[in-house]
C-alpha cells in the first residue's frame, strides 16, 4: 500500500534515511540527506517529503530531535522493497565452510560452533535451536539398573548422539530381563524416528495381550517411559553481551527484559518455532515478533534441514537498525552449511 502512494523520490529518500540511520545510529535531518542524496534537492523540499513519510507512519521524530528515525513500518518497507542483498564474497564463504564443515564430535558441538560463528561475523547475538528429537532415528538402546527400581536408559540416535534418561521401572528387573528388553526394542524400533516410535508404542500396547508375553509388555512399558514427548527443544545462544553495545538496547530495563527472555527460553523457542515451516529467510522487526522483550530488536532467521527434513532454526538477534543487507546472506548461507555439516556426521566414513 505504501508503495502505491510513494513516488520514486520519496522511496529514494526513505532508503537513504534508513541506510544512514543504520550506519550512524543518529536521527537523520533534512540537511544531512540533502548532502547525501543524488537528487540535489533543497533541505526545504526534503523536509516536505519527510513530513509525508512521517504522516504515513514510516518515520518519526524521537524526543525533541530535528532528525527522523525509521518506524517498524519504515523498516518493513525498506526490507521488503528497497533492500539490495548481495551474496557473500568467495573469501567469506570459504571461511564459513572451513569452520562449519570441520570435524566435530557431535551435533551439539556443531550447533554451538554455528551459534558462535553467527555472533562473530555479525557482532550481534547468534541463536541456533538444537535438532529436534522428533526427526532423529534410534540406533540402539540399553538399560542399566539403579536403586529404588529406577533405570538408566541410554539410547543412541543417528549422528552418534548419546542420550540418557532415568525412568522408574515399577519393579526390580534382573540384568537378563533388561538385556532382553533392550534387544527387543532395538530390533523392533531401530531405524524409526522418535515421533514414529511413540506411534508404534501406542499400537503395540493396544495389541491383543494374549499375543504379547510379559517380557515384551515390560519392554514396551519401558519404551513408553523413555520416549514420552519432551518439552520444547533447547537452543544455543552466543554473543548476547554484544547487544549491550547498541545504544537503543543499552537501557537497563530493556536489557533486563531481554536477558530474562533469553534465560527463560520458552518465549524465544515459541518465536523460533514459527519459522520451522517457513520458506527462505524470515525477518521479525520490533513488535512484529509479538514478544515484548523483542520490541526494540530484529530477528533474522532461517530453518535448517538434515536429510531434506527441517529439524531446527538459526538466526541473528540485534537492534532494529541492524545492517540487514549484511546479516541476511550470512543467515541464509549458514543455515545451508549447518545442514551440510550435520548430514556429513550421519554419513558413514568409507572403511
Residue 52 lies in a domain: yes
What is the DSSP-derived secondary structure letter of residue 188? H
Asked if 246 and 337 sit in the same domain, the reply is: yes
Looking at the domain assignment, is residue 119 inside a domain?
Answer: yes
Is position 351 within any domain?
A: no
Tens of pLDDT, residues 254-300:
899 999 989 888 788 888 888 888 889 999 999 999 988 999 999 99
Is 321 part of a structural domain of the chain? yes
**What local confidence, expressed as pLDDT, does residue 201 receive?**
85
Looking at the structure, do residues 237 and 128 belong to the same domain, yes or no? yes
Between 301 and 131, residue with greater pLDDT: 301
Say what the pLDDT of residue 349 is. 45
With 70 as the cut, is the pLDDT of residue 71 above it?
Answer: yes
pLDDT, residue 207, reads 66
**Do 340 and 238 belong together in one domain?**
yes
Residues 334 and 252 in one domain: yes
What is the per-residue pLDDT for 279? 87
Residue 311, in any domain of the structure: yes
Rounded CA-CA distance 181/141 in Å is 9
Highest-confidence segment of 163-172, 218-227, 308-317: 308-317
Instruction: Give the pLDDT confidence score for residue 347 in this predicted structure.
Output: 53
pLDDT for residue 305 is more than 80: yes
- Which of 226, 257, 276 terminates a domain? The answer is 226
Do 149 and 221 lie in one domain? The reply is: yes
Exposure string over 124-149, b if 16+ CB within 10 A, otherwise e: bbbbbbbbbbebbbbbebbbeeeeee
Query: How many domains is the chain partitioned into structurally?
Result: 3
Q: Are residues 105 and 208 located together in one domain of the fold?
A: no
CATH of the domain at 13: 1.10.10.10
pLDDT of residue 100: 82
Pair (239, 108) in one structural domain: yes
Q: Among 226, 257, 288, where does a domain finish?
A: 226
Assess contact for 313 and 237: CB atoms under 8 A.
no
Is the domain of 11 the same as that of 51?
A: yes
* 3-state secondary structure (DSSP) of residue 304: strand
Of 99-113, 159-173, 294-308, give the range with the top mean pLDDT. 294-308
Do 123 and 237 belong to one domain?
A: yes
Higher pLDDT, 299 or 216: 299
Alpha carbon of 120 to those of 65, 123, 281: distances in Å? Answer: 34, 5, 19
Mean pLDDT for the chain?
Answer: 86
**Cβ neighbours of residue 153 closer than 8 Å, sequence gap 6 or more:** 141, 142, 143, 164, 165, 166, 167, 222, 226
Distance, in Å, from the CA atom of 214 to the CA atom of 205, rounded to the nearest integer, reads: 12
Say yes or no to pLDDT of 126 above 70: yes
Q: How far apart are CA 289 and CA 277, in angstroms?
A: 16
Last residue of a domain, one of 41, 58, 82: 82
What pLDDT does residue 231 have?
A: 43
Q: Is 237 a domain residue?
A: yes
Q: Return the closest-CA partner of residue 183 out of 147, 151, 223, 145.
A: 223
Structural domain containing residue 326 = 90-132+233-346
Choose from 40-54, 193-207, 213-227 the range with maximum mean pLDDT: 40-54
Mean pLDDT over 318-322 rounds to 95
pLDDT band with cut points at 50, 70 and 90 for residue 229: low
Confidence band, pLDDT 50/70/90 cuts, at residue 212: low
Reduced to 3 states (helix: H, G, I; strand: E, B; else coil), residue 220 is helix
Q: Is the pLDDT of residue 326 over 80?
A: yes
DSSP state letter for 294:
G
Mean pLDDT value of segment 210-226: 79
Q: Lowest-confidence range among 55-64, 75-84, 121-130?
A: 55-64
> Are residues 126 and 159 both part of a single domain?
no
Helix (H, G, I), strand (E, B) or coil at 147: coil
Alpha helices in 65-174 (DSSP H): 72-77, 90-100, 107-122
118 and 63 share a domain? no
Q: Are residues 239 and 313 located together in one domain of the fold?
A: yes
Give the CATH number of the domain where residue 221 resides: 3.30.390.60
CATH number at residue 240: 3.30.450.40
More confident call, 88 vs 160: 88
Residue-wise pLDDT tens digits, 100-116? 877 666 778 889 999 99
Amino acid at each position: 500500500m505504501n508503495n502505491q502512494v510513494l513516488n520514486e523520490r520519496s522511496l529514494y529518500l526513505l532508503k537513504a534515511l534508513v541506510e544512514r540511520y543504520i550506519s550512524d545510529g543518529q536521527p537523520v535531518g533534512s540537511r544531512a540527506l540533502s548532502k547525501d542524496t543524488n537528487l540535489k534537492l533543497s533541505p526545504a523540499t526534503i523536509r516536505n517529503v519527510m513530513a509525508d513519510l512521517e504522516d504515513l507512519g514510516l518515520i518519526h521524530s524521537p524526543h525533541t530531535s530535528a532528525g527522523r528515525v525509521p518506524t517498524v513500518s519504515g523498516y518493513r518497507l525498506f526490507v521488503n522493497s528497497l533492500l539490495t542483498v548481495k551474496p557473500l564474497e568467495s573469501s567469506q564463504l570459504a571461511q564459513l565452510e572451513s569452520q562449519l564443515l570441520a570435524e566435530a564430535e557431535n551435533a551439539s558441538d556443531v550447533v554451538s560452533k554455528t551459534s558462535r560463528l553467527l555472533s562473530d561475523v555479525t557482532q550481534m547475538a547468534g541463536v541456533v535451536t538444537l535438532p529436534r528429537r522428533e526427526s532423529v532415528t534410534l540406533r540402539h538402546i540399553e538399560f542399566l539398573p539403579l536403586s529404588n527400581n529406577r533405570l538408566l536408559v541410554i539410547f543412541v540416535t543417528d549422528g552418534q548422539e548419546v542420550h540418557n534418561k532415568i525412568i522408574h521401572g515399577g519393579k526390580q528387573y534382573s540384568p537378563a530381563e533388561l538385556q532382553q528388553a533392550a534387544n527387543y526394542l532395538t530390533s523392533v524400533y531401530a531405524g524409526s524416528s522418535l515421533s514414529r516410535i511413540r506411534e508404534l508404542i501406542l499400537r503395540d500396547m493396544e495389541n491383543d495381550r494374549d499375543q504379547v508375553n510379559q517380557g515384551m509388555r515390560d519392554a514396551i512399558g519401558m519404551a513408553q517411559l523413555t520416549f514420552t514427548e519432551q518439552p520444547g527443544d533447547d537452543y544455543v545462544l552466543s554473543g548476547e553481551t554484544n547487544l549491550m553495545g547498541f545504544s537503543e538496547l543499552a537501557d537497563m530495563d530493556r536489557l533486563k527484559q531481554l536477558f530474562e527472555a533469553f534465560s527463560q527460553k520458552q518465549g524465544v523457542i515459541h518465536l523460533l518455532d514459527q519459522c520451522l515451516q517457513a520458506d527462505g529467510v524470515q525477518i521479525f522487526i520490533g513488535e512484529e515478533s509479538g514478544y515484548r522483550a523483542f520490541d526494540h530488536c530484529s530477528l533474522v532467521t532461517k530453518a535448517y534441514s538434515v536429510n531434506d527434513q527441517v529439524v531446527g532454526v538459526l538466526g541473528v538477534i540485534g537492534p532494529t537498525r541492524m545492517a540487514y543487507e549484511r546479516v541476511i546472506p550470512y543467515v541464509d548461507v549458514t543455515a545451508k552449511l549447518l545442514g551440510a555439516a550435520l548430514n556429513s556426521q550421519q554419513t558413514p566414513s568409507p572403511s
